[in-house]
């Protein structure tokens, strides 16, 4: 399994008891959606190693579960993978609708401003604690632009066109490209229902 085809589910935080069981922290909005997994991929070194789940039950909080992994049958084996990140294939993510999106989903998508002008291609999404930031390679000037996405920034998702229409803060593009190279005319929002 390749990391590019996976998403981070959580982390094996510590052993639970002496028979190899472990505490799995699930970093998701709805952890209970993952309470009946058959297998997970554990990052060991640079590789993702598949582990079948023999048993899984809730533990203390809604985002923690005790898991028994096939082949991890004693405390030493559990300690060897404690702290490791756990992955699942992206195909297991629930399908999102409307203007919500997964950060990994929009890599290579096009960013369009509120006027419908193409800004560039998303190269990376930086997932900071306060809000994500899009790293965009501009189309016209071949420069890198960082576009923050705090909650108050309006984003329209067009999955069919693989594009995000973003209400880019005034002056942001000018800071990267220079004021003569950007257009600040007021325009209507692209509604996401038709191609720009």
Q: Both 108 and 87 in a single domain?
A: no
Q: Is residue 186 part of a domain?
A: no
In angstroms, how far is CA 21 from the centroid of its own chain?
Answer: 28
Residues 125 and 79 in one domain: no
Would 164 be classed as within a structural domain? yes
Q: Is the residue at 35 inside a domain? A: yes
Same domain for 118 and 172, yes or no, is: yes
- Would you state the pLDDT for residue 120? 95
**Order of all β-strands in the sheet with 110-113:** 144-148, 132-138, 118-127, 110-113, 163-166, 155-158
Cα(19)–Cα(161) distance, rounded to whole angstroms? 51
User: Is the model more confident about 5 or about 70?
Assistant: 70
Shared domain check, 109 and 85: no
Q: 187 in a domain, yes or no?
A: no
Q: Counting runs of H as helices and runs of E as strands, what totals does the chain give?
A: 2, 12
Instruction: Report pLDDT for 11.
Output: 97
Contacts of 45 (CB under 8 A, 6+ apart): none
Q: What is the number of structural domains in the chain?
A: 2
> Do 53 and 125 belong to one domain?
no
**Is the same domain home to 86 and 125?**
no
Note the pLDDT of residue 195. Answer: 46
Boundary residue ending a domain (38, 66, 91): 91
Q: Among residues of the chain, what percentage have pLDDT more than 70?
A: 91
CA distances from 192 to 24, 98, 112 (A): 39, 10, 11
Q: What confidence score (pLDDT) does residue 162 get?
A: 94
Token reading at 108: 């290579």
Domain assignment of residue 15, yes or no: yes
Q: Does 113 lie in the same domain as 60?
A: no
C-alpha distances (whole Å) from 86 to each of 47, 56, 186 are 11, 15, 46
Q: Is the pLDDT of residue 183 over 80?
A: no
Tell me: do 117 and 53 sit in the same domain: no
**55 lies in which domain range?**
3-91
Mean pLDDT of 88-98: 88
What gap in Å lies between CA 50 and CA 47, rounded to an integer? 10
In a domain, 96, yes or no: no
Q: Is residue 188 scored above 50 in pLDDT? A: no
On whether residue 156 sits in a domain, the answer given is yes
Could you tell me if residue 133 is inside a domain? Answer: yes
Q: Please, which pLDDT band fits residue 179 given cuts at 50, 70 and 90? A: low
pLDDT of residue 135 exceeding 50: yes
């Amino acid at each position: 399994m390749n990391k590019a085809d996976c998403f981070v589910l959580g982390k094996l935080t510590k052993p639970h008891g002496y028979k190899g069981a472990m505490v799995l922290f699930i970093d998701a909005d709805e952890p209970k959606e993952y309470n009946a997994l058959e297998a997970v991929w554990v990052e060991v070194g640079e590789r993702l190693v598949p582990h079948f789940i023999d048993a899984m039950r809730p533990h203390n909080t809604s985002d923690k579960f005790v898991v028994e992994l096939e082949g991890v049958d004693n405390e030493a084996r559990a300690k060897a993978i404690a702290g490791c990140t756990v992955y699942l294939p992206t195909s297991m993510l629930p399908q999102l609708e409307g203007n919500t999106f997964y950060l990994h989903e929009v890599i290579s998508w096009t960013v369009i401003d509120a006027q419908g002008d193409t800004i560039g291609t998303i190269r990376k999404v930086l997932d900071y604690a306060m809000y994500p930031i899009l790293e965009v390679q501009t189309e016209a000037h071949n420069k890198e632009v960082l576009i923050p996405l705090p909650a108050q920034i309006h984003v329209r998702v067009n999955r069919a066109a693989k594009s995000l229409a973003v209400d880019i803060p005034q002056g942001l593009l000018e800071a990267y490209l220079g004021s003569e190279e950007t257009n600040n005319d007021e325009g209507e929002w692209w509604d996401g229902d038709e191609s720009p």
